[in-house]
Chain A
């Protein structure tokens, strides 16, 4: 099989490419240049597409003896991921750019081009299991990335290969070390690749400008503070609210209203959400029958909770949680799983949390 290995310059994609070679595939490596203004050197452990990262990827490809190219997808990435990220925050929502990148860049732009160029599939270093068209959680629960892949359709998954899903991150690093890859000890990338300093609020303020507004307490309706832009907040957030309340009890962001720039906060007992509505869903396989008993994961690093899924208005879903959850932010994906301890929880699909 002819496969295209997407190589970020990190240890996961390096080992994924190596395993594809071991499996006897005809492998070509490709590094995606996603930033229109590529830095020469990586800053800290973050970021993913500096020239140095391209070099790291190329070193591995050369050691594997496979062809290697850099594809410039900066324009697509800027439009589909970065601009979308900014627009979502401007609308009072909390987007997940990694999910959007998988949906629009890796498994649309790259996969389409790969198929057109005669490849059969795209191999990535994602930690998720994929066999017989079924997407499941990685065996390494701490590194599992099935959440940010939950948006992929059956057609996209048919062109994807995730060789790392059945091994731990520790094992991945051990394989890289055994092979003498220089990236074996390279730190994991964190956070958002296009915000290498990790200051999301600063990035958004540079893009959107200061847009001051009130912080209002839900119980009293009183203005308890001001802020420099709703984009600095996410539903469920507790820290950095910059408010003064008489009772000293912690407040959490309950909702964000971008038109009046109002951030509404409240005490812990007001934060619980038991019913989540989503936009029209995507499914990784056959469309399940509703109502459906399942588990739902509501953000990248939270536990899945039991729920009942029914059809909502406008083609969306209504997800009723067995136990109310805090921090259900519009813009995040509600990814649905069918629990399966033996083979890994099966990803059914997802819908974007409406708000």
Chain B
């Protein structure tokens, strides 16, 4: 099996597995007052401190959640509600059209049910949001509840200069949320230095467990809760702390961040070979997103493990199926839960024509990726594309 879908999820790290297994063998609710509860609370709080340190945040800025989707919903809806409550003119959301559906659909839900108005940001052809585009969309900011721009795009891997965007937002008094689910552990992420008000991260993209994530939320950011109850997590996210998951999340994040530089260099080299090999075998394939060697504010302008390519004339789902049949696992980028392949909304948002958006595949590398994985793909990609093109012409 050749697994080239690490951006969907990546294997749990051995140290995460052992730390979580140890936790699961214990009893203790972190809210209980007795010794078992205190021990659980200590482990959860140690994890909070470690996660905060790895991401340049203060421990009190870490809110544990059930994952990236929950963190995105909490940031978009929670900031919108709190800011509108403080000033009823603030009903505008400024959002990149290339966001994950957790952000897009939250914004559209607020527009449909809560009287919000969404302003979609202009994107560079690479998918990047520039400070100028954000400034244009914000105007004087007086009617804006919040803005959301992802740190790195999950499909095409483009990184935006979040720190510069935060400056622009703050200049007109608007809080900025960033979905950093794909960025943490791949590119340098420092919450405090970036200046953003809220940051989404999740465990299972960096070797941690599924169903565990966090929203980093500045102490001065007002956020209306989605979940009410026991008042955990600054009263913003009630619910019994999932201590094994929190411990696993912190171990994964600290490990991924500590090993980032070395891993990023290794993955970028593998990824470059993958892209060069595919383009050699299928000369009319097109690389989507930023150039492989793109540099932004001194760091990488593209996720090191991301290769996103279009194969004009072929359907993405046919390519995926043919590769799957040959033991190669990748993604069309945006499968919805119903399993129907749709043209990538990210490529559509950057102005790609329908054929390019429908014919794309995402290959994403991670900690377990090797040269053999790249070789396996390169051994079959040409005939697979050829066959998918033949099938595509029949439609």
Contact surface of A with B, Cβ cutoff 8 Å = 28, 31, 33, 38, 51, 54, 58, 67, 69-72, 76, 109, 112-113, 116-118
Contact = CB atoms under 8 A, between A and B. Distances in A.
B324 interface: yes
Nearest to B383: A118
B394 A116 contact: yes
Nearest to B388: A117
How many B residues touch the partner, as a band?
10 to 19
Mostly, the A contact residues are mixed
Contacts of A71: 317
Given A28-B321, A54-B338, A116-B390, 18 more contacts: A33-B340, A38-B340, A51-B338, A54-B339, A67-B324, A69-B339, A70-B340, A72-B340, A72-B342, A112-B394, A113-B318, A113-B394, A116-B394, A117-B318, A117-B321, A117-B322, A118-B322, A118-B387
Interface string B308-349: 000000000110011011000000000001111110000000
B391 A117 contact: yes
Mostly, the B contact residues are helix
Interface in B336-395: 337-342, 387-388, 390-391, 393-395
Interface of B: 317-318, 321-322, 324-325, 337-342, 387-388, 390-391, 393-395
A91 to B, nearest CB: 28
A27 to B, nearest CB: 11
B70 to A, nearest CB: 21
Contacts of A117: 318, 321-322, 387-388, 391
B328 to A, nearest CB: 13
15 contacts: A38-B340, A51-B337, A51-B338, A69-B321, A71-B317, A72-B340, A76-B395, A109-B395, A112-B394, A113-B391, A116-B387, A117-B318, A117-B321, A117-B387, A118-B387
Contacts of A70: 338-341
Contacts of A51: 337-338
Given A54-B338, A72-B340, A67 B391 contact: no
B345 to A, nearest CB: 15
A54 B336 CA distance: 13
A75 to B, nearest CB: 9
A112 B342 CA distance: 21
A67 B328 CA distance: 13
Contacts of A69: 317, 321, 339
Contact of A38 (B318, B322, B324, B338): B338
A268 to B, nearest CB: 49
Nearest to B318: A117
B388 A72 contact: no
Contacts of B340: 33, 38, 70, 72
Contacts of B338: 33, 38, 51, 54, 70
A72 B340 CA distance: 6
A221 to B, nearest CB: 52
A116 B339 contact: no
B101 to A, nearest CB: 16
A69 B325 CA distance: 12
A68 to B, nearest CB: 8
B343 to A, nearest CB: 11
Contacts of A109: 395
The 5 A-B pairs of least Cβ separation, nearest first, read: A116-B391, A70-B339, A112-B394, A72-B340, A117-B391
Contacts of B395: 76, 109, 113
Contacts of A116: 387, 390-391, 393-394
B392 to A, nearest CB: 8
Nearest to A118: B387
Nearest to B342: A72
Contacts of B318: 113, 117
A76 B337 CA distance: 22
Contacts of B322: 117-118
Nearest to B321: A69
Contacts of B391: 113, 116-117
A58 B338 CA distance: 11
Nearest to B322: A117
Nearest to B317: A69
B15 to A, nearest CB: 31
Nearest to B390: A116
Nearest to B339: A70
With most chain B CB atoms within 10 A of its CB, the pick from A31, A71, A76, A112 is: A71
A118 B325 CA distance: 11
A116 B322 CA distance: 11
A71 B342 CA distance: 10
A260 B387 CA distance: 52
Nearest to A51: B338
A67 B339 contact: no
A33 B341 CA distance: 10
